[in-house]
């Protein structure tokens, strides 16, 4: 090959992967964006503070470039991060998803994977691991912490699912959303508005929560929810 041709190949611009960041904290978005935009192989194409804005930004981005991967915070106002993952997987199956969260991975990581995410990373280690996680996922792999990978592999080896130690592990995704909002002090009508559900549906979730968690009344449910939210923060 002539030297000129080799020089052309070596200096050709490298295609960058487009990253969407969905987090309701602007400072967090800014920090992750700065980290990503320093790299030669990826760039932040758009940002969003909630699920609705994320879907709008994807539509805008796709008019000029395709979003390759979405970084989604688990705790979003309105529609939860987990519900957004399901929506993205259904409407935009070509977009890979990495969940970044403060919530305990032993409870949420498998839920995120079942919802359609390809990876889960704790915010405490995001600075050190987010670029590694993004590259793993874009190359077709799944990214989890060593601890979580070992846990899942052990279940496969044992050919069984261990009984979760926390009663919250038995709850559905919707019930966890309701429990989280109860713990944040929201009333039933406010929860219904936040989740875009009817008051009757939220009341049904509250009844299921009391039954599954072995709680006698609304007071015990609120106390449990507050303590659980505090332990997650």
Q: Answer left, alpha or beta for residue 214, where phi above 0 means left and psi between -120 and 50 means alpha.
A: left
Higher local confidence (pLDDT), 169 or 42 = 42
Distances (CA, A) of 193 to 114, 185, 189: 26, 14, 6
pLDDT higher than 70, residue 159: no
Higher local confidence (pLDDT), 104 or 220 = 220
- Quote the pLDDT of residue 6: 44
| b/e burial code for range 138-165 (CB count within 10 A of at least 16 → b) | beeeebbbeebeebeeeeeeeeeeeeee
Collapsing DSSP to helix, strand or coil, 118 comes out as coil
Q: Cβ distance 179 to 225 under 8 Å?
A: yes
Q: What is the mean pLDDT of the chain?
A: 84
> Topology of domain 3-155, per CATH?
Rossmann fold (3.40.50)
Of the chain, the percentage scoring pLDDT greater than 90 comes to 40
Alpha-carbon distance of 142 to 130, in angstroms, equals 13
Please state which CATH class domain 167-232 belongs to.
mainly alpha
Name the one residue in this structure whose structure tokens are 């929860």.
191
pLDDT per position as a tens digit, 102-145: 877 777 888 899 899 999 998 887 777 899 999 999 999 999 98
pLDDT per position as a tens digit, 208-218: 898 888 888 88
The full set of domain ranges for the chain reads 3-155, 167-232
Point out which residues pair with 199 in neighbouring strands: none
Question: Which residues make Cβ contacts (< 8 Å) with residue 73, sequence separation at least 6?
Answer: 22, 23, 24, 25, 28, 81, 99, 100, 101
């Amino acid at each position: 090959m002539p030297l000129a041709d080799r020089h052309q190949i070596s200096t050709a611009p490298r295609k960058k992967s487009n990253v969407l960041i969905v987090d309701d904290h602007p400072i967090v978005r800014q920090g992750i964006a700065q980290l990503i935009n320093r790299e030669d192989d990826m760039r932040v194409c758009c940002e969003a503070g909630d699920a609705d804005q994320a879907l709008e930004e994807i539509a805008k981005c796709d008019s000029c470039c395709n979003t390759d991967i979405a970084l989604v915070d688990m705790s979003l106002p309105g529609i939860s991060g987990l519900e957004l993952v399901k929506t993205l997987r259904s409407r935009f199956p070509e977009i890979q998803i990495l969940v970044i969260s403060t919530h305990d991975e032993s409870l949420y990581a498998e839920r995120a994977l079942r919802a359609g995410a390809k990876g889960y990373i704790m915010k405490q280690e995001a600075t050190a691991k987010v670029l590694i996680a993004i590259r793993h996922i874009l190359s077709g792999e799944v990214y989890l912490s060593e601890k979580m990978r070992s846990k899942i592999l052990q279940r496969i080896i044992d050919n069984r699912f261990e009984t979760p130690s926390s009663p919250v592990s038995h709850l559905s995704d919707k019930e966890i959303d309701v429990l989280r909002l109860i713990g944040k002090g929201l009333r039933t009508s406010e929860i219904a508005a936040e989740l875009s559900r009817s008051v009757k549906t939220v009341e049904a979730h509250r009844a299921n929560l009391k039954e599954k968690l072995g709680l006698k009344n609304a007071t015990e449910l609120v106390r449990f929810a507050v303590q659980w939210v505090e332990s997650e923060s």
